[in-house]
Chain A
Amino acid sequence: MFAPLTWFLVALSLAAALFAVVLAARDKRINWTLLGVLGVIEVALLAQLVVGIVQLSQTTRDVSGPFFIGYLVGSLIILPIGAFWALAESSRWGAGALAIACVVIPILELRLYDVWTA
């Protein structure tokens, strides 16, 4: 696995989650800045998918392919659904729900790392 990209994803997702929590605490809805950050994360996740598939095809490690690919593909749908769910809410709780979605990304990245190093 390409560690710098994984850590970048973990760090940026946690930052986005924190941003969403701050918005919720200040009684604000999600804004374009946060959606822009989510866009960057999504592009990085796509890159991670490509990197992951290439590395999986070349590795001699005993990696569980279905779980590995599952985490890579699964991570792509979290933020779009989370953003949709947050935008459809007119209160601060929308930003709170998006924070949950953002926290899921680092968890998936760590699970991905576990599967890779198992």
Chain B
Amino acid sequence: MTDPAATKHGPGRILIAVYGVFALAATARAGVQIATKFSDAPIAYLLSAIAAIIYCAATFALAKATKVSRKVATTAIVIELIGVLAIGAFSYAVPDDFPDATVWSHFGQGYGFVPVVLPVLGLLWLRRTR
């Protein structure tokens, strides 16, 4: 078994940087949406907030890179993957329920589809540094 600290070094440095950007973007976006126009689209904005929490958890857990935090990161990233696939599919199927965009709408189209690629890379990296 490799040193769990390997998670935050090498290519992991870039992965965590991208996660950090999304943690920040999702948190700021959800914060502004909820503070200024929550009643417009409560479900979408709550999902935005959940996405923000998951990105923050994944970022900090990957960056901490201990045996325990790697488990936290894996859980967060699996939820992230399920979230982006489910919200992505729902936002195409029932667009009326998603009047305003979340990070995960349309599989992260508004963010260059990075949100759908990121959890896959995250899980591959966690596996690689196991």
Interface residues of A (CB under 8 A from B): 66-67, 70, 74, 77-78, 81-82, 85-86, 89, 91, 93-94, 96-98, 100-101, 104
A91 close to B21 (CB less than 8 A): no
Please tell me the size bucket of the interface on B. 10 to 19
A85 close to B16 (CB less than 8 A): yes
Closest Cβ of chain A to B49, distance in Å, is 15
With contacts A66-B36, A81-B20, A91-B9 taken as known, whether A100 is within 8 angstroms of B28 at the C-beta atoms is: no
For A104, the chain B residues whose CB sits under 8 A away are 21
Closest Cβ of chain A to B17, distance in Å, is 4
A89 close to B17 (CB less than 8 A): no
A55 to B18, CA, bound (A): 32
B28 close to A101 (CB less than 8 A): no
A93 to B9, CA, bound (A): 8
B11 close to A100 (CB less than 8 A): no
A66 close to B9 (CB less than 8 A): no
Chain B: which residue is nearest A85 at the CB level?
B17
* B93 within 8 A of partner (CB): no
Interface residues of B (CB under 8 A from A): 9-14, 16-18, 20-21, 24, 28, 31-32, 35-36
Knowing that A67-B32, A93-B11, A93-B14 touch, tell me 18 more A-B residue pairs with CB under 8 angstroms: A66-B32, A66-B35, A74-B24, A74-B28, A78-B21, A81-B20, A82-B17, A86-B13, A91-B10, A93-B12, A93-B13, A94-B13, A97-B16, A97-B17, A100-B17, A100-B18, A100-B21, A101-B21
Chain B: which residue is nearest A73 at the CB level?
B28
With contacts A66-B36, A70-B28, A100-B21 taken as known, whether A89 is within 8 angstroms of B16 at the C-beta atoms is: no
**Most chain B CB within a 10 A radius of its CB, from A81, A98, A100:** A100
Q: Which 6 A-B pairs have the closest CB atoms?
A: A97-B17, A93-B13, A100-B17, A97-B13, A66-B32, A96-B14
B35 close to A97 (CB less than 8 A): no
A24 to B102, CA, bound (A): 33
Task: Return 12 A-B CB contacts under 8 Å, by A number.
Answer: A67-B32, A74-B24, A77-B24, A85-B16, A89-B9, A91-B10, A93-B9, A93-B14, A96-B11, A97-B14, A98-B17, A101-B21
